[in-house]
Amino acid sequence: QVHIEESGGGLVQPGGSLVLSCAASGSIFSFLTMGWYRQARGRQRDLVARITTGGSTTYAASVKGRFTISGDNARNTVALQMNSLKPEDTAVYYCNAVIRGSSDARPRNYWGQGTQVTVSS
């Protein structure tokens, strides 16, 4: 069993900053990726940013240059630094981890419960 715990989020004014943190615990043999997705009201869940255990990163075009993802493999954590926030960044943000539970297990997707980010004046 794997547990994903998120922290951070909240209300911030346009142009402000927030940090989202995520920690994975439980039966973890190895990670493939950890990252963040977001879902605005009435829209599908989309990738925001993700990082591999090797440190390679992927960002959505809409957040490049404003958001930075970082990971700590030893602690099974990932953080998302969000700067220059815009009202269109308002959404529920979900932490995602692709994990192997053992050396011969297939990778599985795990999700956090989500944290609300609201950008408004």
Q: Which residues of the chain have pLDDT under 70?
A: none
Taking only the tens place, the pLDDT of each residue in 59-89 is 999 999 999 999 998 889 999 999 999 999 9
Q: Can you give the pLDDT at residue 113?
A: 96
Q: Can you give the pLDDT at residue 112?
A: 96
Q: Can you give the pLDDT at residue 73?
A: 85
Question: Mean pLDDT in the chain?
Answer: 95
Residues 6+ apart with CB under 8 A from 53: 30, 31, 32, 33, 71, 73
